[in-house]
Amino acid sequence: MDNRPIGVFDSGLGGLTAVKELEQALPQESVVYFGDTGRVPYGTRGRDTIRRYAAQDMAFLMKQDVKAVLAACGTVSSTAGDIGQALPVPYFDVIGPAARAAAARTQNKKIGVIGTSATIHSDAYRKALLKLDYQIQVYSQPCPLFVPLVENAFVSPQEEVTRLVAQRYLGPIREAGVDTLILGCTHYPIISATIGSVMGRSVALIDPGKEAALALAGRLREKDMLCGPGSPRQAAFYVTDEPESFTSVAELFLGHSIQGRTQRIDMENT
């Protein structure tokens, strides 16, 4: 048994999709979430900057004495996996679990991948998918405006601006005839209703945060690293910008209150 918390981090709010899945899969586990809301988005930054931010994020979580780290960020997963693999605790990212789920789901071997510019340019998902099945055809599309739309709460299926942006981005992938679409940024499942309506009911949407959370849960069970019976579940949230706006939106995504559990930190002095 291991009663330490699970560490999850992302550039902003998107990683909360993974936290929600962890809460459902492992309701007895404590979670420490770090959202780098003061420096979001990561996806438009240069590779060296992303890697520096990722290293800082992981170092912060390690100071919280976590027993595992989940990089709930497609951009970090595609550019800084080696940093995570060097941690002294189990490390998980979203690339492998999502690729495996998509490869298992597709029927026509045509898979779409959407993500930040950094994630798409890294070609990480294509490489992972082709390693699983060389016959898979991958159609990729960067969607840089999705993250700021989500961070600013333009998430309702009725939001016309979000729908127009989705139609512009997703048109080429839809026309390619994909039957499976990887939402290659953990912000994107938050607007999955809009994405799904644009793509059509026949296209399966793969949520990387969900797949990564399930993979982490399975590993902790295998390694007997779950919390012991009766351990009080706790959750703590850290951000690098004002916590009030984060808290209000986070509660919509998680479906419960996190009042009093969000703290702002200064990464330069941490």
Strand boundaries in 81-134, DSSP class E: 91-92, 110-115
Whether 227 sits among the annotated catalytic residues: the reply is no
pLDDT confidence band for 242 (50 / 70 / 90) = very high
Q: Are residues 178 and 232 in the same domain?
A: no
Say if residue 17's pLDDT is above 70. Answer: yes
pLDDT confidence band for 133 (50 / 70 / 90) = very high
In the chain, the amino acid numbered 161 is: V
Element (H, E) at 95: helix 95-105
Answer whether residue 1 is part of any domain: no
The mean predicted confidence, pLDDT, of the chain is: 94
Average pLDDT (199-217) is: 96
140 closest CA partner among 150, 125, 129: 125
pLDDT confidence band for 58 (50 / 70 / 90) = very high
Can you give the pLDDT at residue 270?
Answer: 67
| Total number of domains constituting the chain | 2
If you average pLDDT over each of 203-217, 220-234, 246-260, which comes out highest?
Answer: 203-217
Spatial CB neighbours of 194, under 8 Å, sequence gap ≥ 6: 157, 159, 162, 163, 166
Can you give the pLDDT at residue 267?
Answer: 85
- Does residue 263 contact residue 237 with C-beta atoms inside 8 Å? yes
| Percentage of the chain exceeding pLDDT 90 | 86
* Residues 111-120: tens digit of each pLDDT: 999 999 999 9
256 closest CA partner among 19, 11, 46: 19
Q: Which of 13-17, 53-57, 127-131 has the lowest mean pLDDT?
A: 13-17
Of 73, 165, 198, 217, which one is the catalytic site residue? Answer: 73
Question: Between these two residues, 179 and 250, which has the higher pLDDT value?
Answer: 179
Q: Are residues 246 and 162 in the same domain?
A: no
Structural domain range at position 140: 95-209
* Residues 253-267: tens digit of each pLDDT: 898 999 889 999 998
Say if residue 90's pLDDT is above 90. Answer: yes
Out of 166, 186, 209, a domain closes at 209
pLDDT confidence band for 106 (50 / 70 / 90) = very high
Q: Are residues 137 and 193 in the same domain?
A: yes
The sign of the torsion formed by the CA atoms of 73, 188, 110, 211 equals positive
Average pLDDT (134-157) is: 94
Q: What is the DSSP letter of 268?
A: G
Answer whether residue 102 is part of any domain: yes
Out of 209, 226, 261, a domain closes at 209
Q: Are residues 116 and 14 in the same domain?
A: no
Distance of CA 248 to CAs 74, 98, 101, 244, 254, Å? Answer: 24, 28, 32, 6, 10
| Percentage of the chain exceeding pLDDT 70 | 100
Q: What is the DSSP letter of 182?
A: E
Of 120, 128, 185, 213, which one is the catalytic site residue? Answer: 185
CATH number at residue 225: 3.40.50.1860
Q: Are residues 99 and 85 in the same domain?
A: no
Question: Between these two residues, 152 and 48, which has the higher pLDDT value?
Answer: 48
Q: Are residues 187 and 160 in the same domain?
A: yes
The pTM (predicted TM-score) of the whole model is 0.91
Whether 185 sits among the annotated catalytic residues: the reply is yes
Average pLDDT (113-139) is: 96
Can you give the pLDDT at residue 231?
Answer: 74
* Residues 149-205: tens digit of each pLDDT: 998 889 999 999 999 999 999 999 999 999 999 999 999 999 999 999 999 999 999
